[in-house]
Structure 1
């Protein structure tokens, strides 16, 4: 099985692609031959991503959008056009903290950013996928959909909702050659990991080395993931080789999640 050029002629939209896992997914999709549109809030870092993509083909571009702003998202989707074959839904997680202390506004914003935006994106781009009889929707979410993570209360709620929506979409869209799957990254070297480490330090008073040691004690692989490792899974699920994989949660976590 060769992934090289497996996505030639395909158009991928990658959300949250200005850094971290989203950026890595955009780059690996471009390496596999896709034309990539990257979306995020930060224009400057998005431009950096497009610059990196230019080494792997042409036609890549960026669009600036806040997924939590429904009106802006609707306007942005219209500028992208309908011809998206691969949709990668990815967005930074809500601020750490216990659910018992979360305000209604934080929950509403997170729900808008993760669940409502996912719904709107899928509704906007799957009509084209249906016509092509080929489409891929890939959600980058979290292992918390299997086992809720401590001190990530709001994130646990919205990630679980996104995963349930994906399974529903998989059932509805499967007859049209469209697959909908979730990738569940574990602890990955991104700004999100820095948030988690900082939150643990603030809560416990432990130093960074002790927090990292504690986190890794639950990871059989004994290390944090590189963003590219999640991106490799994304490229596979986007490819024709994954045509019969639909409606699953795929952990990329070094074995940390304590269930099948």
Structure 2
């Protein structure tokens, strides 16, 4: 099975922590040149130093804040003017605060839509020419199982994840003929900082301990535990590889079997 990404360049968003960081490391292990994309320059430099370079890769970083949508296009275009190669794009950004959908403000929907769908659109438009020229492209969106099965208490997130799924399917249909695939990876309960914050919020609202909240979640996961960022990154890495050339337009949960739908 061909998993070799030597000579490929991967832009990995949200890559200073959690699933994004694990993905950057995994792709580097397969030989890719990594462009770390995030808003904290200090953390970007720290992760840059951690990335494997066994195949002589040149890793770089791009400082971007996805909450400032108007800054994304000029920053990515300026970067590509210096370093024009792009073969892989990992769209990944933090989810919105929890809460009932009926209580969400219109501004929350707009902000989250911009940070996820609009940001992905801008980045994809910027890198797609390079992918077409290479005859190879992988666009992976790290979203949530809320795309398939809405999660109670994450109303805004569920809504925007659904929009992201439709966007991705449209891209898959349009770009597939160029050797460019577009897929979604749907993490479930994963041991990241975001899960910790959500569990703390749930604990505070129910007068339970965080440990009690975690155990309630785990009892509904068939594998009996939370997923690690590295396990999710392994699925993402496969979808980025030459071996996954015919996997296009799909949404794959990585949740230990928690999602009830097929």
Q: How does 1:114-125 map to 2 (within 5 A)?
A: 114-125=116-127
1:41 and 1:64 in contact (8 A); partners too? yes
Figure out how many residues of one structure are paired with residues of the other and give that number.
258
Structure 1 residue runs without a partner (length 5+): none
1:41 is the counterpart of 2:28:
no
Q: Tell me which of 166, 173, 176 is aligned to 2:175.
A: 173
Q: Secondary structure at the match of 2:98?
A: coil
Name 2:24's counterpart in structure 1: 26
Structure 1 contact 54–60 (Cα < 8 Å) conserved: no
Q: Distance in 2 between matches of 1:74 and 1:140?
A: 20
Q: List aligned pairs for 1:100-139, cutoff 5 A.
A: 100-139=102-141
1:64 is matched with 63
**Aligned-partner Cα distance in 2 for 1:35–1:42:** 20
Please point out which of 186, 206, 209 is paired with 1:207.
209
Tell me, yes or no, if the aligned pair for 1:89 and 1:138 is still in contact at 8 Å: yes
Moved more, 64-73 or 210-219: 64-73
- Distance in 2 of aligned mates of 1:199 and 1:55: 39
Q: 1:132 deviation in Å?
A: 1.4
Q: Distance in 1 between matches of 2:27 and 2:207?
A: 41
In 1: Cα distance, 2:215 partner to 2:201 partner: 15
Cα-to-partner distance string for 1:119-170 (whole Å, 9 max, x where unaligned): 1111111111112111000000000000000111111111111111000000
For the pair 1:234 / 2:232, whether they are aligned, the reply is: no
Give the superposition deviation at 1:100: 1.0
Relative to the length of structure 2, the TM-score reads 0.96
1:221 is aligned to 2:223? yes
Please give the per-residue CA displacement for 1:10-57, whole angstroms capped at 9, x wherever unaligned.
000000001000000000000000000001111111111101115544
Deviation per CA, 1:37-88: give whole Å up to 9, x if none. Answer: 0011111111111011155443101111111212211121113214210000
Q: Which runs of 5+ in 2 are unaligned?
A: none
Query: By how many angstroms is 1:218 displaced?
Result: 1.2
